[in-house]
Amino acid sequence: MLARREFLRTSLLATGAAVCSKPQTLVATNASDSRIEILLDESLGVISPNIYGHFTEHLGGVIYDGIWVGENSSVPNVNGIRKRLVDELRKIKAPVVRYPGGCFADSYNWRDGVGAADKRPRRTNFWGGTEPNHFGTNEFIQFCGLAGAQPYLAANLRSLPAEEFYRWVEYCNSPAGSTTLADLRAASGSAEPFHVRFWGVGNESWGCGGNFTPQEYAVEYRRFVTWLPHYGKGQDLFLVASGPYSEDSSWTRGFFEELLRKGPDQLNSVDGLSVHHYAWNLSRGRTTDWDKGKGSALEFEPVDWYELLREGQRMEEIIGNHWRALGEYDAQHRIKLIVDEWGPWYRPGSEATPGNQLEQIPTLRDAVFSAMTMDIFNRHPEKVAMANCAQLINCLNSLYLAHEDKFCVTPVGLVFGMYAAHQGGQSLRTVISAPAVRYDRDGKTAAFWGLQGSASLRGKDLVLTVVNPHVSEPRETSIDLKGTRVASAYVTTLSSPDIHAHNTFAEPAALAPQSKPLTLSGSAFTYVFPPASVTCLSLSLA
């Protein structure tokens, strides 16, 4: 009983939900037109905690102001790192953080960010302005340690030689006192190695990361990874090749064909293939222009809500397509997909802090989008080993907004809290059927699915997350656990009558999840999912 209470307590802690103690009793009815069947004995695989990962780049207000406030700041900090941020990351069990970019990574010399802080050079940042290098490798590793997350570093393949990749690995991982770089690390207060396991070999190498063809990149990749320092058993590096953008499987095929021209063993040099997908085109098919196609983060109509979700739903097919392409070269599927940048991308204009590049204020729409995306990852545990939401703070699909002493958790951050309970669970086959949503798309009727979600099981603890995308209609649904009874249950819901609802520095809790206990009799019951909602049902099985 204690373990069950603990499951519910920790699940609720992560959500940060307001808890109502009055239980709601649920019974089964026959009236529902929607159904969810959870097949408790059909596991799809273990949900890697790392699919709930994050991404941070030296861009706009992400690092400076967002993460790093400096040791002398009046903002509460731990050795210069914003304390509130690491406290929040602990609550949602942040598993991994990618750094230092993004496009920035391929213009960055890691040596600029190590050694005595007052001797570090100032450089021109990829995104414009001056990079002061106050925050570098040691500070990032310390940030990860405080947050309880693993580091994932992206190496510069475009503008540094392969030797510098080798040396960065040596700086991070060589044993205390064994190399000059280990001594340099120790001089900054970290004698013990960082044991960085995850390494990206370039970023978007088809674009800002070198403008390569997939064949050219494969040649560079081979050279960069042919010999990297290894420091003993259990310390293998996990190497992520720079992969395609969205559906572009010609990149995936071109890369592997060229890599394998040197022989089948070359496959062993890749552990993950990165995939990036941003939902940005809200033009309803009018343009593919990167600037003109974008919509507003805060001002939108129901049609824009559904269009954004449609752009995000492409993720499921993108995963399937690249997985199939990978299978043509790696029949055993040892290599996994790493979706290390994802999220909506709007046009400028909703910055919480004026001047912060690429900053946008997430709304309930982005919470629903993020929940939908995480459900997709949960449904493909054998394919997706890691995913990193772009980007953690003060940027695109941010979990947090911060400026000086102001801070708020966005609807996206709230959803990460609600979904944390899936980490490490067995993903269960879940059959969901519901009438499609129909909406007007420039005079034509368009359709979008009516209900989606995912379920996972750890011991007797079952987590079901569900998205109702309809902007105004609730969805009455019969939920069937196929004979398994529930001992106790909690529901947490994120929703609002206003689809634009969002949190700001002035109103940091305008949108907040609500939790309440449920009383269920039997193994089937009816639940009404509110409109425009994300729901997490935490069920302790009898």
- Interacting residues with ligand AHR (CB under 6 A): 57, 101-103, 203-204, 341, 390-391, 396
Shortest distance, CB of residue 275 to ligand AHR, whole angstroms? 12
**Which lies closer to ligand AHR via its Cβ, residue 113 or residue 425?**
113
Structure-token pair, residue 454: 């995912």
Q: Are 404 and 65 in contact (CB under 8 A)?
A: yes
What's the CA gap between 307 and 73, in Å, rounded? 42
What's the CA gap between 390 and 413, in Å, rounded? 12
**Which lies closer to ligand AHR via its Cβ, residue 243 or residue 513?**
243
Shortest distance, CB of residue 203 to ligand AHR, whole angstroms? 5
**Which lies closer to ligand AHR via its Cβ, residue 173 or residue 274?**
274
**Which lies closer to ligand AHR via its Cβ, residue 57 or residue 139?**
57
Q: Which residue, 121, 96, 208, is CA-closest to 156?
A: 208
Place of tokens 């979700």: 309
Shortest distance, CB of residue 322 to ligand AHR, whole angstroms? 17
Nearest-CB residue for ligand AHR? 102
Q: Is 6 a catalytic residue?
A: no
Task: Give the distance between the most distant pair of CA atoms in the chain.
Answer: 72
Name the catalytic one among 164, 341, 351, 359: 341
Shortest distance, CB of residue 240 to ligand AHR, whole angstroms? 13
Helix, strand, coil % (nearest 5) of the chain?
Answer: 30, 30, 45
Q: Are 137 and 172 in contact (CB under 8 A)?
A: yes
Shortest distance, CB of residue 83 to ligand AHR, whole angstroms? 25
DSSP notation for 390-425: E-SBSSSS-SEEEETTEEEE-HHHHHHHHHGGGTTP
* Distances, alpha carbon 207 to alpha carbons 103, 202, 217, 223, 247, in Å: 9, 11, 11, 19, 15
**Which lies closer to ligand AHR via its Cβ, residue 61 or residue 102?**
102
Which residues make Cβ contacts (< 8 Å) with residue 57, sequence separation at least 6?
Answer: 63, 99, 100, 101, 102, 103, 104, 105, 391, 395
Q: Are 235 and 195 in contact (CB under 8 A)?
A: yes
Name the catalytic one among 204, 307, 311, 351: 204
**Which lies closer to ligand AHR via its Cβ, residue 311 or residue 480?**
311
Shortest distance, CB of residue 204 to ligand AHR, whole angstroms? 5
Q: Which residue, 268, 266, 310, 295, is CA-closest to 436?
A: 310
Beta-strand relationship, 461-468 and 452-458: antiparallel
Q: Which residue, 429, 484, 435, is CA-closest to 461?
A: 484
∠ CA 88-93-98, rounded to 5° = 90
**Which lies closer to ligand AHR via its Cβ, residue 58 or residue 310?**
58
Shortest distance, CB of residue 57 to ligand AHR, whole angstroms? 5
Q: Is 204 a catalytic residue?
A: yes
Shortest distance, CB of residue 341 to ligand AHR, whole angstroms? 6
Q: Exposed/middle/buried for 479, CB within 10 Å: 0-12, 13-18, 19+?
A: buried
Shortest distance, CB of residue 157 to ligand AHR, whole angstroms? 13
What's the CA gap between 398 and 65, in Å, rounded? 14
What's the CA gap between 96 and 151, in Å, rounded? 6
5-9 long-range contacts (CB < 8 A, ≥24 apart) are 7/421, 7/461, 7/538, 7/540, 8/488, 8/490, 8/538, 8/540
* Distances, alpha carbon 463 to alpha carbons 44, 111, 160, 426, 459, in Å: 15, 44, 45, 10, 11
**Which lies closer to ligand AHR via its Cβ, residue 57 or residue 330?**
57
**Which amino acid type is present at position 205?**
S
**Which lies closer to ligand AHR via its Cβ, residue 329 or residue 345?**
345
Q: Which residues are marked as active site? A: 204, 341
